[in-house]
Amino acid sequence: MTTKTPHQNGVTKRKNRTILERTKSMAMESNYLAYLWTKVVNIATYLTNRNPTRSNGGLSLEHVYNGKALDLNHLKVFGNLAYVHVSKSRRRKLEAKSIKCMTVGYDD
């Protein structure tokens, strides 16, 4: 691949714009806190890499890179309400067994 050619710069700019637009959409929809913007960018990039594209014959970038089909069952809506279990060793008898949270990313 040759760098600094107009065609490739356009592709890169378009990909960056796509990620930025997804970031803004997700952030506005979830009424996110401003300090979480890096998480939103990471998720937008994560999802972009898992979207099928025509240039890859209907395959996602992740599929092309790893050579195997993706399992997307783990995906959740960004900013969605979530409850995290608190283990018995970290809580007292009358304390809640879970805490209320918000989905902000995916673990590697």
Residue 2 has what pLDDT? 59
Write phi, then psi, for 8 (nearest 5 degrees): -70, -35
What pLDDT sits at residue 8?
Answer: 62
pTM of the model: 0.66
Residue 98 pairs in a beta bridge with 85
What is the full per-residue pLDDT of the chain (108 aa) written as tens digits?
Answer: 556 666 667 778 888 898 999 888 888 887 777 778 888 898 888 888 888 888 888 888 888 888 888 888 888 888 888 899 999 999 999 999 999 988 877 776
What is the DSSP-derived secondary structure letter of residue 52? Answer: E
CB atoms within 10 A of CB 27: 20
Q: What pLDDT, on the 0 to 100 scale, is given for residue 81?
A: 84
Q: Identify which of 80, 71, 29 has the alpha carbon closest to the alpha carbon of residue 50.
A: 71
